[in-house]
Structure 1
Amino acid sequence: MFFFFFALSLPSVKIFDASTNELVSEILRPNAIEIGFSPKGTYISTWERPSKLEDGSGSKNLTVWDARTGNELASFFQKGQSNWNLQWTDGEEYCARMVTGVVHFWESRNVGKGNSSPFSFSSEAFLMFEGGSLNNES
């Protein structure tokens, strides 16, 4: 397991190895105001205030990055700051995000790629976690 810490030092997000204090990666994101890590620190997410593009559509202001390399893995438009970050299973095998009542799930290594499995339900929010077995056998 890797232990990282980050510093929001505009215009970038700097990710450090917590055991050596060495810079692991740097993500140039001058407008980032929120940062989140996946449970094992493999992925980092940044959120910026939404802005409109010239065509009137919203900019992709939620970005998922590889924490080790700083490479962008996916980006999305996320209007609200509340509950902005993706949710991850503890083992980081899967991640999900909710958009207008539809929850999109991905295998984490394919986050943002077109092969999500959307599930639609009426809800204001959702919570994702890994659970134990549902059978009562010991």
Structure 2
Amino acid sequence: MTHISWKAVRAGLLAALVLLACAAPARAGGGHSGEDSWLMLTVTPGETPSTGENGTMLRCDPPRGHRHATDACAELTAADGRIADIPPREGVVCPMIYAPVTAHADGMWRGRPIDYTETFPNTCTMTARTGSIFTIA
């Protein structure tokens, strides 16, 4: 019969706790988790934003839920979550066809609420102005 002292059991448990604490991943982005960087995105034909729940959920850290999530999250990171501050794409020439679309984003960026709505003359202009954010179709 093997005897294990309480001192040995405590030392083993302490070592296990230290290993678990060291193995836990560090949070990136200044202590903000990806769960507080998410946007519900909708693009609606016309000049009225969508009031429904149908849209695309973009999550960052890691990028997911959107067909261009990596690019969209990078653009949001560069603009600190401010969609209006995303620089327009250079060299894009859009047709002068009026087919309005309304882009809407609602969510959180690094703990800060985001509520963005803008109507563009057409989808080309929307994409040229907002990058990959609203390329959800």
TM-score by length of 1: 0.27
Structure with the bigger percentage of helix: 2
**Hey, which of these two has a bigger chunk of strand by percent?**
1
